[in-house]
Chain A
């Protein structure tokens, strides 16, 4: 990867419970700035754990995470939250905040402990909703949204955070086709304006449409990482998912299909 790295992981080791084999035994990775990177891999490969390590939510047992050249430990919570935003896969919100109030929470990295959001924060929250064409939802309670709408609103909250690095955990998992298109289009525009985006996904189509770089993970290890065209190949996907995969090219874009032979396999 040629562009300078915004985030780099060096010899990262992590486990949730001591005595058990680590979830990530030894992982090194560099993510170039200003691009979209998709992390693909089977369930339990450690994708979400990796995002949480990048966020600083989890502390590695060994190795180091650097953001913009500085180790994570060198940032204050506030500085880091202005630099790195997260949209989790799902969130249980027990109280009915309005969509606007919820997106406004993304402004907290710029507010002091005792500060209330001001007019500028309301404007930026509305702009974030606008970017995702969610304005009509602004006054709806978040508890009344569908799973897909909620996922878009979580992304809007992360956008309001104006971070240089956006971490998205399965951002398309609940989206219908049109929302998926809208989300990927927004990610593309953000990257054009210099944002660095990393998303995990089970959806090779989303990766092929939006990402320039792909990281393939299995059992806490990077199988391969690099530009989309070289990494998203049948051979490497087979090695990642342990199933038979075909990669066709339609309009020059790779399309990943499960091979017919999976229907005749054992079990």
Chain B
């Protein structure tokens, strides 16, 4: 039943692709200029202010939101499969908190230019992951999954207490607002320059993962099985993790801490396409893009003032999560 097993997944992917395109186009028109919530099409043709607004403010922000959602969802899907745990997301393993700590540290003492902040954030994101992973290996209690979660919680807590210290030390007029922005997450003020900083890290990372997506299935099996199927489990998992963490760190460097996308979107994708990452991974990328663009639309245009994006993704993500948990799964485990 090749057709019945694969065509629906392909159809779903095509539908999601069209959905993303539609959301993207509507989002260009959605906003608070000249009045809530739409730019009429004829105005976009004639009004120079509207054109400039769309080109230099909305478009870079939209593209960044798209990359943010796709990167976080992909990183979440990769980590859930590699760690064989559907509850893992980038934030659980010290990556997000590590990036936030690195960014705060950079703003305070190293340099607040985006490139430097991004590099330091990425370094600390990797450090957070490595720390969680090696800590989990040394915990002498519980199974692997529990140990990972415990280690991730501990490392995240260490980094967030570090962020607390840095906030306390920061200059309340110049540095503190910048750090606070990190912790709430958001894309206001994003320009084409920020978007261009994102591209060279996020796109190659996502590309590597996308190309290895069927291989990811093998790496979600026991070590012995993955090995017997011809993979080098340790090395290949490391390549995928580095790609995922690099993408996460890059978007976190631009947008701050945006939670829940990496946890909830892979679950949605699996509900739609099943477990096979050949289809689930592209689905997660598309859904992640749609989710982040919609959340960012609401963040910038729902109220006269900006709502921090991280608050919206957490609110909507948690609601979606609850709805998913209440509905019976396609296949109830034994």
B224 neighbours in A (Cβ, 8 Å): 52, 55, 57, 86, 88
B1-16: which residues lie under 8 A (CB-CB) from chain A? 1-2, 4-5
Q: Does B275 contact A (CB under 8 A)?
A: yes
**Are B275 and A138 in contact, with the CB atoms below 8 A?**
no
**Are B1 and A138 in contact, with the CB atoms below 8 A?**
yes
**Are A82 and B331 in contact, with the CB atoms below 8 A?**
no
CA distance A89 to B229 in the complex (A): 16
CA distance A249 to B201 in the complex (A): 70
B72-130: which residues lie under 8 A (CB-CB) from chain A? 81, 84-86
Q: Does A84 contact B (CB under 8 A)?
A: yes
Q: Does B218 contact A (CB under 8 A)?
A: yes
Q: Does A1 contact B (CB under 8 A)?
A: no
Knowing A91-B221, A91-B222, say if A57 contacts B228 (CB, 8 Å). yes
Chain A, interface size category, equals 35 or more
Q: Does B64 contact A (CB under 8 A)?
A: no
Closest chain A CB from B184 CB (angstroms)? 33
In this complex, the member of A84, A122, A140 whose beta carbon has the largest number of chain B beta carbons within 10 angstroms is A122
Please give the number of chain B residues whose Cβ is less than 8 angstroms from any Cβ of chain A in the complex: 37
Knowing A52-B224, A85-B228, A114-B212, say if A108 contacts B218 (CB, 8 Å). yes
Knowing A101-B274, A105-B218, A143-B331, say if A94 contacts B86 (CB, 8 Å). yes
**Are B229 and A96 in contact, with the CB atoms below 8 A?**
no
CA distance A85 to B228 in the complex (A): 6
A82 neighbours in B (Cβ, 8 Å): 230
Knowing A77-B230, A108-B230, A113-B215, say if A98 contacts B274 (CB, 8 Å). yes
Q: Who on chain A is nearest to B217 by CB?
A: A105
In this complex, the member of A93, A96, A115, A138 whose beta carbon has the largest number of chain B beta carbons within 10 angstroms is A96
Q: Does B42 contact A (CB under 8 A)?
A: no
Knowing A57-B228, A77-B230, A144-B333, say if A88 contacts B222 (CB, 8 Å). yes
**Are A113 and B212 in contact, with the CB atoms below 8 A?**
yes
CA distance A27 to B94 in the complex (A): 45
A208-254: which residues lie under 8 A (CB-CB) from chain B? none
Knowing A96-B274, A113-B212, A113-B215, say if A144 contacts B334 (CB, 8 Å). yes
Q: Who on chain B is nearest to A138 by CB?
A: B1
Closest chain A CB from B212 CB (angstroms)? 6
Closest chain B CB from A91 CB (angstroms)? 5
Q: Does A109 contact B (CB under 8 A)?
A: yes
**Are A78 and B274 in contact, with the CB atoms below 8 A?**
no
Q: Who on chain B is nearest to A100 by CB?
A: B5
**Are A84 and B220 in contact, with the CB atoms below 8 A?**
no
Interface string of B307-334 (1 = CB under 8 A from A): 0000000000000000000000111111
Knowing A105-B217, A114-B212, A144-B334, say if A86 contacts B225 (CB, 8 Å). yes
Q: Does A263 contact B (CB under 8 A)?
A: no
CA distance A57 to B274 in the complex (A): 30
**Are B331 and A161 in contact, with the CB atoms below 8 A?**
no
B220 neighbours in A (Cβ, 8 Å): 93-95
A92-135: which residues lie under 8 A (CB-CB) from chain B? 92-98, 100-101, 105-106, 108-109, 111, 113-117, 119, 122
**Are B222 and A96 in contact, with the CB atoms below 8 A?**
no
B81 neighbours in A (Cβ, 8 Å): 95
A-B contact count (CB 8 A): 108
Knowing A77-B232, A92-B222, say if A115 contacts B275 (CB, 8 Å). no
Cross-chain contact of A141 among B1, B221, B331 (Cβ < 8 A): B331
Q: Who on chain B is nearest to A122 by CB?
A: B2
Q: Does B276 contact A (CB under 8 A)?
A: yes
CA distance A141 to B217 in the complex (A): 14
Q: Does A205 contact B (CB under 8 A)?
A: no
Interface string of A150-194 (1 = CB under 8 A from B): 000000000001000001000000000000000000000000000
**Are B84 and A92 in contact, with the CB atoms below 8 A?**
yes
Q: Who on chain A is nearest to B239 by CB?
A: A113
Knowing A85-B228, A109-B230, A117-B214, say if A95 contacts B86 (CB, 8 Å). yes
B2 neighbours in A (Cβ, 8 Å): 119, 122
Closest chain A CB from B70 CB (angstroms)? 19
**Are B333 and A91 in contact, with the CB atoms below 8 A?**
no
Binding site for A on B (CB under 8 A): 1-2, 4-5, 81, 84-86, 211-212, 214-215, 217-218, 220-225, 227-232, 270, 274-276, 278, 329-334
Sample of 18 further A-B pairs with CB below 8 A, known A56-B227, A81-B229, A144-B333: A52-B224, A84-B228, A91-B225, A92-B84, A92-B222, A95-B220, A95-B275, A96-B270, A97-B274, A100-B1, A101-B217, A105-B221, A105-B229, A108-B218, A114-B215, A117-B214, A139-B1, A167-B228
Return 7 A-B CB contacts under 8 Å, by A number. Answer: A55-B224, A55-B227, A57-B224, A91-B221, A114-B211, A139-B4, A141-B275
